[in-house]
A and B are shown apart, each in its own frame.
Chain A
Amino acid sequence: MATTLDKVDVVTVGVGWTGGIIAAECAKEGLKVMGLERGKERSTEDYSMVHDEYRYAIRYELMQDLSKETITFRNSRNQKALPMRQLGSFLLGEGLGGAGTHWNGQTWRFLPYDFEIKSMTDAKYGANKLSAEYTLQDWGITYDELEPYFDKFEKTAGISGEDKNPFWGKRSSEYPTPAMKKTPLLSKFETATSNLGYTPFMMPSANLSEAYENPDGQQIGACQYCGFCERFGCEYGAKTSPEITVVPAARETGNYDIRFNSNVVEVMKEGDRVTGVRFIDTVTFEEFIQPAEVVVLTSYVMNNAKLLMVSEIGQMYDPETGQGSLGKNYAYQILPGASGFFEDQMNVFMGAGALGMTIDDFNGDAFDHSDLDFIHGGSISMTQTGARPIATNPLPPDTPAWGAEFKKASIENYTRTLSVGSQGASIPHRDNYLTLDGTYKDIYGMPLLQLTYNFTDQDRALHKYITERTSEIMQEMGAKTVVGRSPISDYDIVPYQTTHNTGGTIMGGDPATSVVNNYLQHWDMENLFVVGAGNFAHNGGYNPTGTVGALAYRCAEGIIKYSKDGGSLV
């Protein structure tokens, strides 16, 4: 028998960036908010011995415990999906702050083009630029409508940057803090890309260039360029994360509680409203019901989709007919790029997660696609994130992967190799989607989420084209040997690529083709909100969290409005 707890105004499932933002905004308005988080409490004090590549980066100390729950995966509908038994391709968050604790901090706003990609592509290239297999659609919101929320997220996070990119959307204000330091390695990239006629600029960063107090009164430290950023927590409180910003802001109101070790397994519903959530205490395995006026799913792409599916809310997407929206338009990212081998040793082990320079000349629709067999593109960056010695064993062509030659080459080139890489956009395809698995279950007895995904012809063409551009840049940078990344074939869930999973609970202007409206309010249940990168109708050429943060602020505004007036917000 489940124990029913006292009703709250708002319950969030998970306490990462999205859960934290919703909590802070709603609690400031006087709403009583409960955050249910399956993981544990943690804070800056826990990161003083974090410079340990093995424990944190290789053994995934801060990430999801897959023995409890994972997903299943297959490349195509005619394969049998099997569990992702070990982390690899992407690293799912767990514990206070979610993946916002161990992210890099590269903080982007998607392009104006991204939000209206379907209309703009059709207008410029005609309706048949991509075949009907690609389920491209607009997001039901424009960049201009979302701009104030981007601005708010960046001010909360204190983002360091410079407004020098001619290709991105108009900003209503400058970055809250100046760009990070431009290192000699970044200058190499800057000179080369300028020589080639492009427009380099410093990457917007949540590793702050200077100490900062945000509008909520929270203090963020100055980055020390320690080189242990991605996959690690910041011992200086200098990488903006939920647990040093929005979570304390929410707690200070007195209207917010977090309950840890609480794994939500179901959204409860009655007619066309949700009534709360059912969760299991992961220590005692006791079952509880948390009733709430408003339920907000903030448990990342995978679990948000899963909770809707197991709770039977919304219409499942059917790849056969194209009908239904839940699980549709799952997208990932492709990573074109090139490595260059240099003569001189460089300080590659110094760095920060978002220390980098970028060009957008091949992102979005900044270049003409008339004679190309793909749309969109990717941001091209060189980052200096701190090369870790276990993971970084750069080998010139035709070097064996082990043995005497391997040892010599990998040691020689560790400090002599740079990479230029791109985050290539991912366009949704009819056959790439999320559903529930019929065989495998989590330890709470619920079915695992099933991912059906493969790279598409569009992905392969984009990868090839951008890889050529990155190779040219590397050549211009003066590398003695340049090696472009091999062409992509099938998606492989084993090696790490990015944790930029999107789709499955997409937003839009039409209930027939999207799960939530542009306040991230569920079309079928007006007191249910679903927020995260799952809302993205496709994946752009940047990291997602700037856009996720903006959507969370948009969603919070919606919840506050809804709590006063009720009804559908659009």
Chain B
Amino acid sequence: MAEKKNVSRRDFLKTSGIAAGALVGGGIIGGVIGANTRQDTASTSGGEAGHSGGGGTTEAVRGLQFFKNQQEFAVLQQATERIFPEDDLGPGAIGLGVPFFIDHQLAGSYGENSKEYMQAPFEEGEATQGYQSRLKRNELFRQGLQKMQQEAQSRFEANFVDLEGEQMDEILTAFQDDEVDMQGANAQFFFRLLRQATLNGAYADPIYGGNQNMEAWRMKGFPGHQAAYINDIESEDFAEIEPHSVGDMLS
């Protein structure tokens, strides 16, 4: 692991006054409102399906809604897996369906920035002023993934997806450290977006197509949608609760 190159998380929130031992708050990426209307519903049956990269055995058919080019999607898969890798605790981004989650989100209001102020003029500004690009998120993702591929070619003369893990990490770290030139946006912002989207896909309710079989919740000990904890809230014991999806309410 090229962990030494990871800029410490303090840099993420350096100026905010809330950078702490714990990375807090969900607002790093900002966001838009409204459900993506084209959602896959992952199977919510338990079991080990989806643990490794393959399509798993219990899901409904899935496909791409935003990406048209399988190469780009493959870069996305590998990049998100490096951010949230499979290990002895359980599946990584690919096994959880994160790349499909991101694809679907990019096709909808998230990717289109439809609830965000996108009026000109666009000027670069200070880091404390936040996102100032005229690029929509889906345009930024496409460019970022293409740049990752280009970096792989120029650094290692290989496709991104054929690199060793450490080599992929080197490229991701270069984005994180803002050492790659992008047009109309900066690499560091793209990296933060990619990292946050990966976590969104891993831990969001499975109705969005990630967090398959609620495996990420199980790893973390989060029970998802539970109607109430009033009977357990005073208990001293840690409660191990089988998770539920909000999707269960409709069936």
Chain A interface (Cβ within 8 Å of chain B)?
48-49, 51-55, 57-63, 65-67, 69-70, 73-75, 79-80, 82-89, 181-184, 223-227, 334-335, 337-339, 341, 344-347, 349-351, 387-408, 411, 413-415, 417, 419, 439-441, 455, 463, 481-497
Contact = CB atoms under 8 A, between A and B. Distances in A.
Nearest to A228: B225
A509 to B, nearest CB: 33
B128 A58 contact: no
B83 interface: yes
B204 to A, nearest CB: 4
B45 interface: no
Given A48-B249, A88-B30, A401-B7, A67 B19 contact: no
Given A347-B232, A395-B23, A402-B84, A59 B33 contact: yes
Contacts of B238: 344-347, 415
Contact of A181 (B12, B172, B220, B234): B234
Contact of A403 (B6, B23, B117, B121): B6
Interface of B: 1, 3, 6-10, 12-35, 82-85, 87, 89, 92, 110, 113-119, 121, 123, 125-132, 169, 172, 195, 198-200, 202-205, 207-208, 216-217, 219-230, 232-236, 238-239, 246, 249
B20 A405 contact: no
Contact of A75 (B13, B83, B126): B126
B117 A83 contact: yes
A463 B17 contact: yes
B128 A54 contact: no
Contacts of A439: 121
5 contacts: A52-B246, A67-B116, A394-B21, A408-B87, A440-B119
Secondary structure class of chain A's binding surface, majority of residues: loop
Which 6 A-B pairs have CB atoms at the shortest separation, nearest pair first? A483-B21, A86-B30, A488-B17, A496-B27, A400-B6, A224-B228
Nearest to B225: A51
A86 B131 contact: yes
Contacts, number: 300
Given A389-B222, A488-B15, 17 more contacts: A51-B205, A57-B26, A60-B32, A61-B33, A66-B117, A75-B128, A85-B131, A226-B228, A339-B21, A393-B23, A394-B24, A419-B24, A482-B21, A486-B20, A491-B15, A491-B16, A496-B25
Given A86-B130, A86-B131, A402-B84, A80 B17 contact: no
B22 A53 contact: no
A389 B23 CA distance: 12
B229 A350 contact: yes
A349 B20 contact: no
A475 B20 CA distance: 16
B34 A61 contact: yes
Nearest to B90: A411
A487 B16 CA distance: 9
A80 B132 CA distance: 13
Contacts of A226: 226-229
Nearest to A391: B26
A404 to B, nearest CB: 5
Contact of A389 (B129, B169, B195, B216): B216
Contacts of A399: 9
A403 B128 contact: no
B87 A67 contact: no
A398 B150 CA distance: 31
Nearest to A482: B21
A73 B129 contact: yes
B120 to A, nearest CB: 9
Nearest to B137: A86
Nearest to B12: A401
A143 to B, nearest CB: 29
B109 to A, nearest CB: 8
Given A402-B84, A439-B121, A495-B25, A390 B3 contact: no
B176 to A, nearest CB: 8
Contacts of A394: 21-24
Contact of A391 (B24, B84, B232, B249): B24
Contacts of B226: 51, 226-227
Nearest to B217: A389
Contacts of B92: 407
A489 B15 contact: yes
Contact of A400 (B3, B16, B21, B220): B3
Nearest to A463: B17
Contacts of B169: 403
Contact of B87 (A389, A404, A482): A404
